[in-house]
Amino acid sequence: MTTVIRELGDEQRELVLNMGPHHPSTHGVLRFVLHTDGEVMRKAVPEIGYLHRGLEKIAESTTYPGYVPYTDRVNYLEAMFANEAFSKAIESLSDIEVPERAQYLRAIAGELNRIASHNITIGCITMDLGAITPFVHLLRERETINDLIEALCGQRVTHHYVRIGGVAYDADDNWLKQVEKFLNHFEAIIEELDNLIVYNEILVKRMADVAVITADDAVGFGLVGPNLRASGVDWDLRRDMPYGIYPKLDFDVPIGAGEKGTVGDCFDRFVVRVRELKQSCRIIRQCINNIPDGDIIGNVSRKIKPPKGEVYSCVEGARGELGVYVVSDGTEKPYRVKWRSGSFSAMSIIEHISEGLMIADLVAVIATLDVIAPETDR
């Protein structure tokens, strides 16, 4: 970290610290400019752009099916959801019907991806605050999920599984049994996580009443997903703007309750994700028990040319609403693609909530907001 001392007059001085862009707690190429009075921050200003790859511009020079693999790179921790958001947009523009079996497979794959992503997030939160062991244990569980997804579609991280009109590969009964076996094992891990680390005294003290985000601020700054629900806002796209097979499924939506401090603090953002693990397991079990036979992809032509028009499509990803706006000019290539991601909106509130926090608290803020660099720079 580089340091600059600024004279503010009246014998006041301010330390300006540079945190990042290669800081281990940012989990990506992100930079924060910290204006501090000793150990107390006056503000923390995020600076993005270090990971810009032109993902939206690339869409203009490739076909609709050819762009689907690029959507994996929007967020490497939740590629399934980016696949699905873009595919849903083109299905809506082109009036393509997705078979019911494909809808179930999308839900199973997506919820497995949600569990894998939350495992990384929860593990990183504990690791950034000083507890290494939970991260290693949760990484082990994520590797098992990666094994399952690799058996399903051949890819462990950038999946390219959800396709326009359905999914790329079917799942046999043996694979579904393997998923159920994993759930039997993982639900016990969730209980172990609760007992060992969630209410750990040191962890609670580092997160309770830290960086409280009110419901009004959460809505005003456009927060989504667990960050929004942790502030007490009961909103989940799977239930409130239902899509795919989710209207047929029964699940609860965990929200922040100020369990150890104030509603909307770092602890609520942490514990909401832990509770969501159990609900994802519940959803997957219902899908396995009710998945019908049938086709896995609809009637899709080799050359997809949606009529002129525009559409916004979104799904409830691991970090909340992951949306894509697509404009078609009637050709085989999109005229415009614009992504809306949860990490970008989460970055926007950091300066607002940083005043008065200790420098060490910023690590907890970044970790519990679950900011992923590729989602901020597109």
What contacts 344, CB < 8 A, 6 or more positions away?
A: 375, 376
Residue 56 has pLDDT above 80, yes or no: yes
**Closest alpha carbon to 146 in 100, 102, 178:** 178
Q: Decide the pairing of beta strands 31-37 and 12-19.
A: antiparallel
How far is residue 61 CA from its own chain's centroid? 27
Residue 1 has pLDDT above 50, yes or no: no
Query: According to the model, what pLDDT value does residue 186 have?
Result: 95
Specify the higher pLDDT residue, 52 or 285. 285
Question: Residues 172-196: pLDDT tens digits?
Answer: 999 999 999 999 999 999 998 888 8
- When pLDDT is averaged across residues 144-170 and rounded to a whole number, the result is 94
Q: What's the whole-number average pLDDT of the chain?
A: 91
With beta carbons less than 8 A apart as the criterion, state whether 75 and 374 touch.
Answer: yes
Question: Residues 85-113: pLDDT tens digits?
Answer: 999 999 999 999 999 999 999 999 999 99
What's the count of helices (H) and strands (E) in the chain, helices before strands? 14, 9
Please name the residue that has the structure tokens 């456009």. Answer: 222
**CA distances, 69 to each of 41, 60, 89, 281, 298 (Å):** 41, 14, 15, 27, 19
With beta carbons less than 8 A apart as the criterion, state whether 45 and 33 touch.
Answer: yes
- Give the start-to-end residue ranges of the domains of the chain: 3-47, 55-376
CATH 1.10.645.10 fits 55-376, yes or no: yes
- When pLDDT is averaged across residues 281-285 and rounded to a whole number, the result is 97
pTM: 0.92
